[in-house]
Structure 1
Amino acid sequence: MSNGEAVGRAVTPQDASLKVTGTAVYTYDWTLPGTLHAKLVTSTMPHARITRIDTTASKAVPGVVAVLTGQDMPFRVGMYAGDRDLLAVEKVRWSGHPVAMVVAETLEGAERASELVNIEYESLPTVFDPVEAMKPEAPLLHEKMGEYRHAPAFNPIPGTNIANKFTLIHGDVEKGLKEADEVIDDEFVVSHVSHAYMETQNVVAHWMRDGTVEIWTSCQSPFIVRQIMAESLGIPYNKIVIKTPFVGGGFGGKAGLGWEALVAMASKLVGCRPVKLVLSRKENFSSGASREGVVAHVRAGFKRDGRCLAYKVRFVLDAGAYADYTVNVGRAMGYSAEGVYEIPNVYCESYAVYTNKIPTTAMRGFGYAESNWVLEQVFERAAKKLGIDSAVLRRMNLLKPGESHTATGEKLREDVGDPRKVLQTLLKELGWGEKSSPPSQSWKIRSKGFALCVKGPSQPPNASASAIVKFNEDATIDLVVGTGNFGQGTVTALSQLVADQFGISVERVRVDLTRDTSKSAYTWQTVGSRGLFTDGTASLRACEDAKRQIIDLASQVLRIPGEQLEVGEGEVKVKGRPWMNIRLKDIVFGYVYPNGNTVGGPVIGRGYFSSSLTTYLDPTTGQGIPTIFHTFGGTAVEVELDLVTGSIEVQKAVQVFDVGKAINPLLLRMQLDGGFVMGMSIALFEQVKFDDQGWVVNPNFSGYYIARMKDIPRTPRPSGGP
């Protein structure tokens, strides 16, 4: 690749060869000398008081070092809501709740011993329906909720099962409903779904005798893991080192804290030996976390001409036994309730509610996907009821960048993209208004449909990111960032940004693919569609800092004012006189004069990003600026329905997103393709199923079907597409 042309090119991901050759190292591959192996012992009851734990037989198994219970580590942890124990203390809250952990010399020994732990329970009343769980007479899962630490943006209601309530008020929704000519009154249900990532959750932890804790983990948020452990366990930050090598998928399911604190405490309690915990696929389904289920009740008022006057919605999120991350998902679901539309009157209540099911957490879309889905269904129903083409109905209600205000009171900036252009392109590519292709069989029918969406990064205003640009002696660059790389290709895009700042090839920029909190630059988390924007901005600012140092030194050497110099094509040049230049490799470690005198030293640029655009939201009305940008998009499909079997096949799919400048069109296409397949799979196939005791009854890929290659439509690329 020629210099200065990296941004906008389809650069192959830096880690591609390592992955396809099987040489990428994941946490699963990591074992330290003397490592012990851990196995969970989980509850067989959905809600019960623990009356006795007998570990005698388990400890007698050869090679067993310890059998640990919640009494050995009575800590509560959590990022937004400190509601979670490391192992069950006093009672269990779902079928699959970890009660004990066996630590042994071998995994086989740990597994054998885990079957011999005898736990006695006293059954407690259960509640599995989140709407029922909100009722005053419902059994309480967290009697001590009032004692839990929680972030100030959240509103738990002690004495109930409501882990958080978020309210959004914009205009007068009751007045709008009264003035409407037609009112859509309906209820929608979203099922629990699994993240189904390639690599199950696993951790290696070593609590060393000097008090330092080193942890290798398959996670999205090493700095947040460090923060939660420091604050919850009372360990100094600089004594906790979190390392994340390659991560086999996350999709939000590895955000926040996973099993790191539990395994670290186990390492300490067994005499400071390393301990490794690898969840089986079944354990990941039944003892890990899924995306929450949702019950949404809506009332939406429309005028006969199609204008939407009012939207009233209540989201009830089935948060499961622990709601640490789901409280924020519900918040995002609330402030994104209006979707891509300008609705003058909006009222939304969003509740995260405890039930006796598996805990829930973040997942791709982070609340936006669910709220978009509900509102798009409402618009479809309204179009039918009003007798208006659904494309026309949507078009007349769309947000207008530079003019419209969102339901949180934010004036929509002109630079965030335009949903009107998205809709126009989507309809054209789908062939909306044209007849569908003939079905493949007489007992099948074909039909077209589309939906619009919006997504913004879900992060607090102080969620910062930083970057370091370090030059080597030959003017190659090491970019040090904290954002993770588990399929989305962020680090490749970052290297493209940095390469163009100095006019060098992208191959001359290296980004370390392992995160290490003791060495990597800080970033809040790799979640919520924020990584490239926040860490990219920090990287660009680090480049500017490095450029200033380079130009200051070059100004001394060339005896030319700095404002007359520029950096590009791997050198520092005088503007208008490119023959007067210094190669970067001759200056980035200091400049050596012919007589040996040296000025300057190694160039290290630093940059950070912390949003000045967002604000905290009003705790009563939800007014404020919740996100740093909005991305508008849409998906359209042509499907074939078998009237005999009920099966649905997607014949054609179109995706349109207003992304601005595509830094890497190849990676962008991969994200769009992957996002579509995942969304299609969730819509058509996926559902975590529970029995009447809250057990997950399909805890593997035999029972939990995800889209295969045969299910994916073969849609030709539009002309000019990457």
Structure 2
Amino acid sequence: MKYIGESVNRVDGIKKVTGSLKYVDDMKMHGMLHAVVKRSPYPHAKIISIDTSEAEKLPGVKAVITGKDVPNRAGLYLEDKTFLATDKVRYRGEAVAAVAAETKEIAKEAIELIKVVYEELPAVTNAVEGLKPDSPLVHPDLGKYKWGSIFYPQPGTNISNHYKIRKGDIDKGFEEADHIVENSFFVPQIQHCPIENHSAIAQMDAEGALTVWASCQSPYAVRKALSVAFDIPLNKLRVLSPAVGGGFGGKAGTTLEGIVIPLARKAKGRPVKLTYSREDEFVNSFVRQGLHASIKTGITRDGKIVAVKNHFVWDGGAYTEYGVNIVRSGGYASTGPYDIPNVWTDSICVYTNHPVGGPYRGFGMSEIHFAIEQNIDMLADKIGMSPVDIRKINGLRPGGRNATGQVIDVCGLQECIDDVVKELDFRKKEKIINSKKVRGTGLACGYKAPSMPNNVASSAVIKLNEDGTAHLLVSAQDIGQGSDTVLVQIASEMLSIPPSKITIKTGDTDNSPYEWQTVASRITYCTGNAVIKACEDIKEQLFELAQIQLGIYKRDLELRDEHVISKIYPDKKVFIGDLALGLAMPDGSGIHGPIIGRGSFIPDNVRNTDKQTGQGEKPVAFWTYGCQGVEIEIDTETGKVDVLKVVSSFDVGKIINPKLIEGQIEGGIVQGLGSGIFEEMILENGIVKNPSFVDYKIPTADDMPEMIVKFVENPEEAGPFGARGVGEPCMVPTAPAIANAVYDALGIRINSLPITAEKVLKALREKRQ
């Protein structure tokens, strides 16, 4: 292979480092209006009245909207939200009105003139409490909403999805166990914290067509949701995403786009722009859902886990239109990467009056693995076994079965564990560094599948130019992960064209082909396969023309170094650019015309699981497995935890671009480190108390550990050149590995995230008492 496996430089690198790449908030248009939103001061309240009359009179105000302007509910999986509150508000900060004015200052003044009368209602501020029959209902009309067939809301309750796993005989499994261990864990809400805040512009033309520029990961998904919400035909709604400055899932669905559209409709052709402040980002964009996890495990004295019973209660927030799928994913992955014969899981999404829970890197896997991987270490401690050995005994291998009963064909988990153990000495006993510094090591495994419906598609179009260059058109968004570069490399390998001669265009629903979403670690796999099929279409056309031009059967032709070449007589060849517009024949006639390749892809034979048992032969396209180990140092006087070293190994199938994949893994480690020891949205009575980087901490350059990145390559049969996605799985094991290292260092268990100095000191004091 010439281009696959090479560290090709990022195709967007120069634009990004020079600042020439333009993001939505950089855009300035003639006559542009500025939007500001009025938000609820209560987490749960009935809207009695809204008076906008004074705001509408203010000079410079061009449009004012309230919930009556957005009556339709929308949502990707469960249509439960409106873009402005209609009957009541369900979280503190929910939009109740918005203004578009000549300047942002005028819009802010107008917002203060809008008078809203509320009747405060009891709030649900704990997901476990929200399950109780007497809990206030966040969505009394849940039974009237629309949802997909693979989700199971329970009208009359706060449960928006209940996903079940029933594998084997759980009672028999516990009877066979020599030890039964029960543990509980808690994971709080956290924020994505992309560098670029959400921003959107909407403009309606004279014919009633709407154009939306948005910093979004998934233009086609956004277009569909907005079409439903505003009754706009798809041919009259164009969504462009010119560049995305980080997403991590937070820009996968719709947020502020649904506010600028009704303003633009009233603004008589003028564009309307809304950009979130950092405080808005914390409160009014997706947060990672909170999780209360309880695990009951049966294990034999020789280390075999024979039964596990999970109870996962997810804090879905005020709207769970996206979050219901996270709960589904957490359910079917609820054993972690282990082969356990008897499994009972209830994974339940609960409405609360908290900020909206949605997709976040890992899509539920980081949350459940914080519980699962600590629980594994606690089991090992119970029977006197090493954390490494218990994972080797129970870890999935080819031929094993996961929680859904799926037989696993390809799995490099055991090799990944071996990689990590070679780099970190888990047997060393000397932990005390000096009178106050103690070190420890910890291990955790993880796995993840693309969490997507089974019938979602990717597509690609390639246009061959007459100078032998090409344009690749996709709608997969490069949100920093490097997908533009990887897709160009795949096209280069298939067409034997250097990457420098292929230009990629993305993110325009009018002019780039369909892509479901840029989420789920699926782009290399799904869009990569679509690109391969588009290239195969190009090749077939080139060979058809070349056999006429060269007088050689197409079965004897191949692509090499930008030419169609005879396999038998290499000197007989034709430059692909000479075929790009078809053939000109000696008599002046022409054949074929311009060469355009088209490819589309849907994963084969992926089917739903059973509603009652969660069992299924192939509920996902593939699984990515891996392991991480960490070495930490703890100051016993302050409780501060420093991560010194992280070793990571994942089975990625095939490395397309070594430099990019190493960057992905390192980024995932750092983000996992952040959720492990720093990040938490502090909520009190539904109010976010730390909505800024002053009080909400993320890792900085000073917190970077030594990182050793290893790979296992067991090819994925259906993957492009054998590749599978790893962008999300690489974050999953970091936090539990840190928690296990804390126990190794001090003999204390921290069962809730983040593992702060305060928690460490409190646990040390309790241990000494």
Q: Deviation string for 1:285-309 (max 9, x for gaps)?
A: 1222200000011101100100000
The residue aligned with 2:748 is none
Structure 1 residues 138, 504: closer, same or farther in 2, change over 3 A? Answer: same
The residue aligned with 1:506 is 499
Distance in 1 (alpha carbons) for counterparts of 2:248 and 2:158: 27
SS at match of 2:14: helix
The residue aligned with 2:277 is 280
Distance in 2 (alpha carbons) for counterparts of 1:173 and 1:499: 52
Native 8 Å contact 2:66 2:98 kept in 1: yes
Gaps of 5+ in 1: none
Distance in 2 (alpha carbons) for counterparts of 1:66 and 1:574: 66
Q: Counterpart of 2:100 in structure 1: which amino acid?
A: V
Alignment pair present for 1:519 and 2:515: no
Q: Pick one of 690, 693, 699 that aligns with 1:701.
A: 693
Native 8 Å contact 2:73 2:79 kept in 1: yes
State the 1:566 CA deviation: 1.2
Structure 1 residues 98, 436: closer, same or farther in 2, change over 3 A? Answer: farther
Native 8 Å contact 1:31 1:276 kept in 2: no
Q: Deviation string for 1:415-460 (max 9, x for gaps)?
A: xx31010111111111222356763x42010000010000111111
> Sequence identity of aligned pairs in percent?
39
The residue aligned with 2:596 is 604
The residue aligned with 1:659 is 652
Q: Counterpart of 1:619 in structure 2: which amino acid?
A: K
SS at match of 1:516: coil
Q: Counterpart of 2:545 in structure 1: which amino acid?
A: L
Alignment pair present for 1:143 and 2:140: yes
Q: Deviation string for 1:586-623 (max 9, x for gaps)?
A: 11222335665533321111111111131012111111
The residue aligned with 1:483 is 476
Distance in 1 (alpha carbons) for counterparts of 2:294 and 2:707: 35
Native 8 Å contact 1:429 1:654 kept in 2: yes
Alignment pair present for 1:429 and 2:426: no
Q: Counterpart of 1:362 in structure 2: which amino acid?
A: P
State the 1:498 CA deviation: 0.8
Q: Deviation string for 1:207-247 (max 9, x for gaps)?
A: 22312110000111110111112233222111110000110
Q: Deviation string for 1:680-709 (max 9, x for gaps)?
A: 0111000001122x1111111111100000
State the 1:644 CA deviation: 0.5
Native 8 Å contact 1:40 1:98 kept in 2: yes
State the 1:320 CA deviation: 0.8
Q: Counterpart of 1:411 in structure 2: which amino acid?
A: V
TM-score by length of 2: 0.90
Q: Counterpart of 1:73 in structure 2: which amino acid?
A: V
Question: How do 1:523-538 and structure 2 match up within 5 A?
Answer: 523-538=515-530
Structure 1 residues 667, 719: closer, same or farther in 2, change over 3 A? Answer: closer
Distance in 2 (alpha carbons) for counterparts of 1:554 and 1:19: 40
The residue aligned with 1:175 is 172
Q: Pick one of 665, 673, 695 that aligns with 1:672.
A: 665
The residue aligned with 1:408 is 404
User: How many residues are matched?
Assistant: 712
Q: Deviation string for 1:616-640 (max 9, x for gaps)?
A: 1211111122211111111111000
Q: Counterpart of 2:406 in structure 1: which amino acid?
A: E
The residue aligned with 1:16 is 13
Native 8 Å contact 2:289 2:357 kept in 1: yes
Q: Counterpart of 1:556 in structure 2: which amino acid?
A: I
Q: Deviation string for 1:54-110 (max 9, x for gaps)?
A: 223333433112321102221211111111011111211111111111111111111
Structure 1 residues 719, 532: closer, same or farther in 2, change over 3 A? Answer: closer
Q: Counterpart of 2:696 in structure 1: which amino acid?
A: Y
Which stretch of the first structure deviates more once superposed, 226-235 or 10-19? 226-235
Native 8 Å contact 1:436 1:638 kept in 2: no
Distance in 2 (alpha carbons) for counterparts of 1:399 and 1:97: 44
Q: Pick one of 154, 158, 167 that aligns with 1:161.
A: 158
The residue aligned with 2:740 is none
Native 8 Å contact 1:501 1:568 kept in 2: no
Q: Counterpart of 2:372 in structure 1: which amino acid?
A: L
The residue aligned with 2:571 is 579
Which stretch of the first structure deviates more once superposed, 155-164 or 584-593? 584-593
Q: Counterpart of 1:672 in structure 2: which amino acid?
A: I
Q: Counterpart of 2:594 in structure 1: which amino acid?
A: P
Distance in 2 (alpha carbons) for counterparts of 1:519 and 1:435: 61
State the 1:719 CA deviation: 12
State the 1:116 CA deviation: 2.7
Question: How do 1:434-449 and structure 2 match up within 5 A?
Answer: 434-435=428-429, 439=433, 441-449=434-442
Distance in 1 (alpha carbons) for counterparts of 2:282 and 2:636: 33
Q: Pick one of 456, 459, 469 that aligns with 2:462.
A: 469
Q: Counterpart of 2:162 in structure 1: which amino acid?
A: K
State the 1:519 CA deviation: 0.7
Question: How do 1:608-619 and structure 2 match up within 5 A?
Answer: 608-619=600-611
Which stretch of the first structure deviates more once superposed, 22-31 or 697-706? 22-31
Structure 1 residues 37, 662: closer, same or farther in 2, change over 3 A? Answer: same
Alignment pair present for 1:633 and 2:629: no
Distance in 1 (alpha carbons) for counterparts of 2:343 and 2:478: 38
Structure 1 residues 626, 719: closer, same or farther in 2, change over 3 A? Answer: closer
Distance in 1 (alpha carbons) for counterparts of 2:429 and 2:589: 78
Distance in 1 (alpha carbons) for counterparts of 2:650 and 2:170: 31
The residue aligned with 2:727 is none
SS at match of 1:602: coil
TM-score by length of 1: 0.96
The residue aligned with 2:119 is 122
The residue aligned with 1:42 is 39
State the 1:248 CA deviation: 0.9
Distance in 1 (alpha carbons) for counterparts of 2:111 and 2:277: 14
Q: Superposition RMSD on alpha carbons, in Å?
A: 1.7
Distance in 2 (alpha carbons) for counterparts of 1:197 and 1:381: 35
Which stretch of the first structure deviates more once superposed, 428-437 or 456-465? 428-437
Q: Counterpart of 2:631 in structure 1: which amino acid?
A: E
Q: Deviation string for 1:127-180 (max 9, x for gaps)?
A: 100010011100011111111111111111111000111111111112211221
Distance in 2 (alpha carbons) for counterparts of 1:96 and 1:422: 44
Native 8 Å contact 1:444 1:642 kept in 2: yes
Q: Counterpart of 2:529 in structure 1: which amino acid?
A: T
Distance in 1 (alpha carbons) for counterparts of 2:460 and 2:263: 34
State the 1:555 CA deviation: 0.9
Distance in 2 (alpha carbons) for counterparts of 1:618 and 1:705: 42
State the 1:521 CA deviation: 1.2
Native 8 Å contact 1:326 1:362 kept in 2: yes
State the 1:259 CA deviation: 2.0
The residue aligned with 2:560 is 568
Which stretch of the first structure deviates more once superposed, 70-79 or 380-389? 70-79
Q: Counterpart of 1:400 in structure 2: which amino acid?
A: R
SS at match of 2:692: coil
SS at match of 1:381: helix
Structure 1 residues 310, 252: closer, same or farther in 2, change over 3 A? Answer: same
Distance in 2 (alpha carbons) for counterparts of 1:341 and 1:572: 49
Distance in 2 (alpha carbons) for counterparts of 1:112 and 1:636: 53
Native 8 Å contact 2:99 2:263 kept in 1: no
Native 8 Å contact 1:635 1:655 kept in 2: yes
Structure 1 residues 717, 297: closer, same or farther in 2, change over 3 A? Answer: closer
Which stretch of the first structure deviates more once superposed, 331-340 or 205-214? 205-214
Distance in 2 (alpha carbons) for counterparts of 1:319 and 1:358: 8
The residue aligned with 1:203 is 200
Structure 1 residues 406, 268: closer, same or farther in 2, change over 3 A? Answer: same
The residue aligned with 1:353 is 350
Distance in 2 (alpha carbons) for counterparts of 1:94 and 1:192: 14
The residue aligned with 2:214 is 217
Alignment pair present for 1:592 and 2:588: no
Structure 1 residues 179, 490: closer, same or farther in 2, change over 3 A? Answer: same
Native 8 Å contact 1:542 1:608 kept in 2: yes
Q: Counterpart of 2:667 in structure 1: which amino acid?
A: G
State the 1:490 CA deviation: 0.6
